[in-house]
Structure 1
Amino acid sequence: MTAQQFTGILAAVVTPLTADGSAVDAEGIRRQADHIIGGGIHGLVPGGSTGEFTTLSLDERKQVAELYVEAADGRVPVVAGTGALSTAQTVELSVHAEKAGAAAVMIVPPFYDAPSFDELLAHFGAVSDAIDIPVMYYNIPSVSGVSLTPEQLAQLARQTAVTCYKDTGGDYVWLSTVQQEHAADITALNGWDTLTFAALANGARAGVWGAASFIPQLAAELYDAVAVRRDLAAGRELWARIFPICQFLESHNYCAGIKAGVDLVGVSAGPTRLPVLPLAPPYRAELRDLLIAAGVAVADANVAA
């Protein structure tokens, strides 16, 4: 798989859990995959921030990757999140993801002792030596503590198996600089919800988007309008419906918001895991109203549930 094949909207997916939160819900994963792919979304990204990966054991992370690949059943590519605090665990998860059938892996830099650029090159180099599928760099400086320059990001791609990156930095100028000056080295995928329209209009080939898990049709329609048909007028109309939802999600715990969203549209994924608390009832009601205003069918009648 090459970087050019990452086009469209890839849903950053949740990790469905059983009612008590103690185990991964395999049937819930199948339910998520069918709903998202059925809505026209072009790929799945399990095991990232939206998937609460920091609360999962190593075995659970492997299980989630396997189950999403199985549930996708070749309909769309699966990019497995395999970032970990150590290079050894990152390699272990990445090798497993490749064997499970993932099309690529997404790796966030180790996020406790933020590595230097030389250490980052060694870290991603070790993964690149261990697998034969592409690596997506997960740029999220607010969490990882790693802030690369556009030139460093391009160098990382030239020296390792990194072919693209998910940008969850929220800096549109930085994203645009990479798009305009380093497209030959690395492909930009937007990962900051409220910048989706701007990134696609500026030529981003793809986006990794948590809200696509519960508004897949709207997300797919936006991509088609802006990136495929280049109909900015239609895109603006869609974006006017979508933007308030994205703005809401960025104002609350993101995992809790996405899990509330999938529940509201009838594809419940169970609770969040502590320390993340469920979205409070008043906020859940607000999200429900935003979905209705956007024309999304809501299955949940009891907003305080």
Structure 2
Amino acid sequence: MNKQFQGIYAVVVTPFYEDGTFDVESAKKNLDWLIEQGVQGVCILGATGEYQSISDEEHMAYVKEIVPYVKDRVSVIVGASRERPEDVVKLVNNIKECGAHAAMVLPSFYCHPAQDEIVEHYRYIEEQTQFPIVAYNNPGSAGIEIGQDAFRQIMALPYTAIVKESSGSMQKLTEVLIDAPEKVSVFCGCDNLAYESFADGACGWICMLANVAPKQCVDLYQAVYVEEDLKKGKEIYKEILPALNVLESFPKPVQALKYGLSKKGLNGGYVRRPRMELNEEEKTYLSEAMKFETLR
């Protein structure tokens, strides 16, 4: 485990105004609340933060505004996935300059790179930036899975600090945990496998639900990973599992979280195209299925 990176990292939504511009003040208020609730870190501009829907210039401007606001209070990871590694390098160097603590990077998506090309993708980015990198395995988003041998090579690179394992396979997570060197933290990346992942040895969780239930997510991490109290952890998990299952199955998880924030008196803002706002039927379903009133 890399002791710099452990615990609950809320992968935060990005509030937009209706015209698509950033609502920075709402973003800051949401971050203040998350920090008050005890999260160990935040992940800005992950998929939940709609990184795919903003330009490189917008990405860099938002990072310059948000990262300095929180970097001295909590650990900060920033998503920097792009198809071209040269674009990733540009974003990561800006992230580094603004004082964040790591950058999260998928393999190049859509082109379905071979395993040696995945390794080279991370090698190139680390050589060009010399900055801590989160190697992110998410076959559903990238269209390709990082294999075990490729993972070993990536984790041996000097700036690989974290692996975010989002394949949905506990066997895969176990393989990564067994192979991970001391300098690499292994994080859960599937919301509805958090309990199992902590019990298996994952030391952190980059977590969607923490946007609206940060206290319970922190309590789950504390009970299962820190205290090794599986019974206590299971009771907490039972409270939040319905909401976790919704986030991993409902086709509009970003909108669900933004709606949930409105139930907390906070503001998740609008989404950007191609996403659409929730209709009344969807809001009713989410209120019943996620039980926002029980989340804290």
Normalized against structure 1, the TM-score is what? Answer: 0.91
**Shift in alpha-carbon separation, 1:100–1:282, aligned structure 2, 3 A:** same
Give runs of ≥4 in structure 1 deviating > 6 Å.
none
Alpha-carbon displacement from aligned partner over 1:8-64 (angstroms, at most 9, x marks no partner): 00011111111x142111102101211111111110111111011111011211122
Match of 2:4 in 1: 5
- 1:142 aligned to which of 140, 143, 151: 140
> Aligned partners of 1:276, 1:293: CA distance in 2, in Å?
22
SS of equivalent to 1:78: strand
- For structure 1, the residue ranges without an aligned partner over 5 or more in a row are 298-305
Task: Output the amino acid matched with 2:198.
Answer: L
Tell me how large the CA RMSD over aligned residues is. 1.8
Kindly state the Cα deviation for residue 123 of structure 1 after the two structures are TM-superposed.
Answer: 2.0
Match of 1:103 in 2: 101
After TM superposition, the structure 1 stretch with the greater mean CA deviation from structure 2, 30-39 or 129-138, is 129-138
What is the 5 A alignment of 1:65-214? 65-159=63-157, 161-184=159-182, 186-214=184-212
State, as a whole percentage, how many aligned pairs show the same letter. Answer: 27
Aligned residues: 295
- For structure 2, the residue ranges without an aligned partner over 5 or more in a row are none
Match of 1:30 in 2: 28
Alpha-carbon displacement from aligned partner over 1:192-211 (angstroms, at most 9, x marks no partner): 00000100111111010011
Kindly state the Cα deviation for residue 146 of structure 1 after the two structures are TM-superposed.
Answer: 1.8
Match of 1:230 in 2: 228
Task: Output the amino acid matched with 2:21.
Answer: A
Kindly state the Cα deviation for residue 184 of structure 1 after the two structures are TM-superposed.
Answer: 4.3
> Aligned partners of 1:106, 1:293: CA distance in 2, in Å?
29
> Aligned partners of 2:192, 2:19: CA distance in 1, in Å?
30
Task: Output the amino acid matched with 2:125.
Answer: V
Kindly state the Cα deviation for residue 294 of structure 1 after the two structures are TM-superposed.
Answer: 6.3
Task: Output the amino acid matched with 1:112.
Answer: Y
**Shift in alpha-carbon separation, 1:241–1:251, aligned structure 2, 3 A:** same
Task: Output the amino acid matched with 1:233.
Answer: K
Task: Output the amino acid matched with 1:68.
Answer: I
> Aligned partners of 1:180, 1:294: CA distance in 2, in Å?
39
Asked if residue 270 in structure 1 is aligned to residue 273 in structure 2, the reply is no
**Shift in alpha-carbon separation, 1:52–1:295, aligned structure 2, 3 A:** same
> Aligned partners of 1:14, 1:4: CA distance in 2, in Å?
26
Normalized against structure 2, the TM-score is what? Answer: 0.93
